[in-house]
Amino acid sequence: MLRVELTLKERVEICRHHAVSSSITNKTLRIWATEKMKKPISEMTINRILKRKSELLASQGSTHVQRYKKPKCPNLERILFAWFLTMQEANVTMSDEMLIAEARMLHNTVPRETEKEIKFSNGWLQGFKRRNGESASAEVTADVLDQVKGLKAIISGYEPEDVFNMDKRVSSFNWNPIAHGNKIYNWHLRGTLCKA
């Protein structure tokens, strides 16, 4: 049988259907899931999904995820996230570079959980943020759309070759500290306008 990729949303749907029909057999559940999702799903896949039922139902917030990857070093990530929260409460604005530097330092001091050497790359950082709920995309509200329209109106008087995006890279956003009076933004829009 072909290997079939199920999204987190589809796996949660299988778990919910099983919960509603608790007397349903795995074979019947497989047939239902195959018809519903129009994918050839094996009984072994159903077994694996049901073994992780509580974990899947708990993580149903991000339904675009194809699969859940556990961290290679869960203790390191737990300690790093605790450090991050401490720094955030102390009103320290955190950058990606600070997190990676702290992760490297902790990796050298915390007992190793894996023999493989971990590369604290941007990919690792994005995974860390995703696992700890820090990389969700911002909600696009009517206010945001109005601001985008306003910006388009402002730049309409300029030639396209005279309009530049000043961001160096997408992953360079900062996490703001938690403090009274601080507003936490999930998106940043920067630009410079000049007319010669």
* Same domain membership, residue 124 and residue 82: yes
Query: Sorting pLDDT into bands at 50, 70 and 90, what band is 180?
Result: low
**What single-letter amino acid sits at 182?**
N
**Is the separation of the CB atoms in 123 and 135 below 8 Å?**
no
- pLDDT tens digits, 78-121: 898 888 888 888 888 778 888 999 999 888 887 777 677 788 88
**Is the separation of the CB atoms in 79 and 99 below 8 Å?**
no
Does residue 69 form part of some domain?
no
* Same domain membership, residue 150 and residue 126: no
- pLDDT tens digits, 129-157: 877 765 544 556 777 778 878 888 888 88
Q: E-assigned strands of the chain?
A: 164-165, 191-192
Does residue 24 form part of some domain?
yes
**How many CB atoms within 10 Å of residue 193?**
12
- How many domains does the chain divide into? 3
Does residue 164 form part of some domain?
yes
* Same domain membership, residue 149 and residue 124: no
Q: Quick check: 171 pLDDT over 60?
A: no
Does residue 137 form part of some domain?
no
Q: What residues make up the domain containing 18?
A: 8-58
- pLDDT tens digits, 46-73: 898 888 888 777 765 555 555 556 777 8
